[in-house]
Every structure is written in C-alpha cells, then in structure tokens.
Chains A and B, each alone.
Chain A
C-alpha cells in the first residue's frame, strides 16, 4: 500500500468513506423503520451505491498498484445491479401475499 500514488489514493479514500456512511445509514434505516415496505428502501442505498463506491475504489487501488487497468471488479457490480431488483420484487410479493399484519399495525400502536 506504500506505493499508491496520490491520484488514486485520494479518490479511493473518499469513495471508501462514502461507501461506509451509505452502508451504515442504510442498515440503521433497516433497523429503525416501522413497516416492512418502508424497511425495504434504506438497505438498497448501501446495496447499490455503496457497492459501486467500494468497487470503484478497489479498481483504482489495484490499477495503481499493478500499473495497468484492472476491471474485473465490474463483474460484481454487474451481478449486484442485476440481482438487487429481482430480490426486492420477490420479497415484496412474498410480503403482500403473506399479509404482513404485525408489521403493519406496529406504527399505529406506537
């Protein structure tokens, strides 16, 4: 890590800090939101934008360390971006089908 030049270390550090903040805010929303359908929204922030930030940072650092462009992290980006909507759609359909009574009455009791 000692020979990473400045043009790669500075954006990679900023991207890593942004990804950590996005992931922790998304998971805190998952913990604190009152309803299942509102609970589905915050983790998507960490899933899509946080993963993108970490993978771009990883591409920058490994490209600067090896000395040639490294793009195989795009595989994970492509896979996560393609599969996140499928997961969200199936979980939402399962929640609609199952009724979700206890989660829906939680905000009115509070």
Chain B
C-alpha cells in the first residue's frame, strides 16, 4: 500500500512545482508592486509545502524545522514589504 503513498507524494510534488512556476510567472509579470509581493507570499508558502512533502518522503525531521523557519521569515518579509508599500517606511520613529 505504500506504492499509493509514493504516487501521491510524486503527484503532490509535481503540483507544487507547477504552483511555484505559476507564482513565479506572476512575480515576473505583475503590473504593480503589490502583485509581486502577493506572488512572493504564494511562492514561499508553496515552497514550504514542498519542503513538508519532501519531509514525508524521506521520513526526516530536519525538513520540518526548515519549513517552520521559512514560514516565520516569509511572514516577516511580507509584512515588511507591505508596510513599506503602505507607509514608505518599515520601522517608523
């Protein structure tokens, strides 16, 4: 029965690769800056899901820590970019 799980993991990896490519297309094409920030947000979420799927495949716990770090730093970077677009300054005096 592990063959089904292996096929599911392959399918999920393929779908997440396609999703990352779509987000990358919006990142290059996006007409305004907020489109690019939203594309970057989607891109790191998809990358985090890809790392979790790789962690399921290899049965290692190191991927989980990397996924948690990507979630943390991606959130902070998106908030900083959105704040910069909103106010023109990230940390206001």
Interface residue SS majority, chain A:
helix
Inter-chain contact B5/A87, CB cutoff 8 Å: no
- A13, A72, A98: the one within 8 Å of B34 (CB): A98
Q: How many residues of A contact B (CB 8 A)?
A: 57
CA distance A79 to B55 in the complex (A): 19
The winner among B1, B45, B71 for most chain A CB atoms within 10 A is B45
Least Cβ distance of B31 to chain A in Å?
A: 5
* CB proximity to A under 8 Å, residues B4-48: 4-9, 11-16, 18-20, 22-23, 25-26, 29, 31-35, 37-39, 41-42, 45-46, 48
Name 14 extra pairs, CB < 8 A, besides A13-B8, A28-B22, A73-B64.
Answer: A1-B59, A5-B1, A12-B8, A17-B12, A24-B15, A36-B34, A39-B38, A43-B41, A79-B72, A87-B79, A91-B41, A93-B86, A97-B86, A98-B34
Q: Can you list 11 contacts pairing A with B, beta carbon distance less than 8 Å? A: A9-B1, A10-B1, A13-B5, A23-B49, A27-B22, A30-B38, A47-B42, A73-B64, A87-B41, A87-B78, A94-B85
Residues in A lying within 8 Å of B, measured CB to CB: 1-2, 4-6, 9-10, 12-14, 16-17, 19-21, 23-24, 26-28, 30-31, 36, 39-40, 43, 46-47, 50-51, 54-55, 57-58, 61-62, 65, 72-73, 75-76, 79-80, 83, 86-87, 90-91, 93-95, 97-98, 100, 102-103, 106
